[in-house]
Structure 1
């Protein structure tokens, strides 16, 4: 089979671009298609069934574009849809395709970042309520205590480009304070939403200096490098001309105007169709 398959990267909106950016920096030679489901974003407060339905539709769209490997660069989709897609849909309808998420790669390494064995996880309501991080981290580091905090206002602030304004400070301090009230022993905080790295300047000022703040982009990129080394049958299908294509289910002009904040450079998207 001709090796022209792009790597698909999916997110409910813009946040997955922070993961895409890290992946493209580590693996610049591969071809990529990014799909943001902006028309139905945010996913965080939807039911399991709805998020599964939306995610599967977008994964199948990326498969139709020639992707053999799709990364769910979205914690909510990884928490609420990935396992069902992997266990129910791929074996029956797409046995040669692979879909990976962002939760497991993070869970596999987070124990090495904490001395106290107390970790904070900040995410959307959907991610927190799924308890996916509690389950996955316990598999690899049963001695680590996970303290979760949902941050429902952070994604809307970021998507409306208000996250660095003074008005955002109240919600940043509120959620960080609620997390730290759970335990004085927390020494590592995972940003379990791909939007949240845009809050890093304010988070570093809010948390004590001894707190390590982890973004997922580099962790997921490292994991993908390892995955491709272990799965040459997938790697050999991938195109390597360094192309990047961007699609959105929403308005491309609106997507382009906002996406560069996440991706770090201007980009031009097309309407998902």
Structure 2
């Protein structure tokens, strides 16, 4: 008998919808529940304990909805909460459930996008200060040098739908220039925040043509497909009706208005 467990997709707000879009395109047969913690977003500047608390609460809510597998489609949550949840909470309370993040899948393949072995990371303060990308990339590719730049103004600009206006150009140019000033040999820039793909058209005009600008959606989707192939004990529990549900901790009407920008189509959410 086919089980009906959905795959949970969690983000602190809207950004994870860019990852969800890629996952749904790659693996359309599965059922999904997306949860955005918009009432407490953004996570980027919160302390570790707060991010861990918020993330765990949302993961447990998704577990209560029947999810056997949850993807933290949020770099800040992946950086500051994932390891503790995997090592402490799952073994103690949810030994049959799994929680995955977006940092490790990206770190595993980053070497194929750089010739100079010098890459740039652009993310929230929380992600950059955690040093998670630097540590994960070093595990797989110790010969790669990582430069980081926090971009605290980008998420507010995007969530207020101001990112394509000319007023956003100052902050886009400012952070890109700060990153490139760290090394002339950077040839790959990872957008380590799921909001940032919405800036891609402008970033391509700022960075030189020889720089690979990476977004995470397709990387995470490919990694998830591989994970499910390797773990049939999880895959067999998943519902396969192609159903998508959307929830927010904030106002559903506000969520729906903004979410379509990230997901690429109109959607209707419910309050968690």
Q: State the partner residue of 1:222.
A: 222
| Cα distance, 1:210 vs structure 2 | 0.6
Task: Summarize deviations over 1:51-87 as a string: whole Å, max 9, x none.
Answer: 0000000000000000000000000000000000000
Give the Cα–Cα distance (whole angstroms) in 2 for the partners of residues 188 and 41 of structure 1.
29
| Cα distance, 1:2 vs structure 2 | 5.1
Q: State the partner residue of 2:207.
A: 207
Q: State the partner residue of 1:270.
A: 270
Give the TM-score of the pair, scaled to structure 2.
0.99
Give the Cα–Cα distance (whole angstroms) in 2 for the partners of residues 266 and 240 of structure 1.
22
The 5 A counterparts of 1:94-109 are 94-109=94-109
RMSD of equivalent CA atoms: 0.6
Q: State the partner residue of 1:123.
A: 123
Give the unaligned 5+ runs of structure 2: none
Task: Summarize deviations over 1:84-131 as a string: whole Å, max 9, x none.
Answer: 000000001000000000000000000110000000000000000000
Give the Cα–Cα distance (whole angstroms) in 1 for the partners of residues 108 and 191 of structure 2.
15
Give the Cα–Cα distance (whole angstroms) in 2 for the partners of residues 184 and 111 of structure 1.
18
The 5 A counterparts of 1:1-273 are 3-272=3-272
Give the Cα–Cα distance (whole angstroms) in 2 for the partners of residues 70 and 157 of structure 1.
28
Give the Cα–Cα distance (whole angstroms) in 2 for the partners of residues 219 and 16 of structure 1.
13
3-state SS in 1 of match to 2:120 = strand
Give the Cα–Cα distance (whole angstroms) in 1 for the partners of residues 140 and 164 of structure 2.
35
Give the TM-score of the pair, scaled to structure 1.
0.99
3-state SS in 2 of match to 1:66 = coil
Give the Cα–Cα distance (whole angstroms) in 1 for the partners of residues 36 and 58 of structure 2.
9
Task: Summarize deviations over 1:135-185 as a string: whole Å, max 9, x none.
Answer: 000011100000000000000000000000000000000000000000000
Q: Give aligned pairs, total.
A: 272
Give the Cα–Cα distance (whole angstroms) in 1 for the partners of residues 188 and 157 of structure 2.
24
Give the Cα–Cα distance (whole angstroms) in 2 for the partners of residues 24 and 228 of structure 1.
14
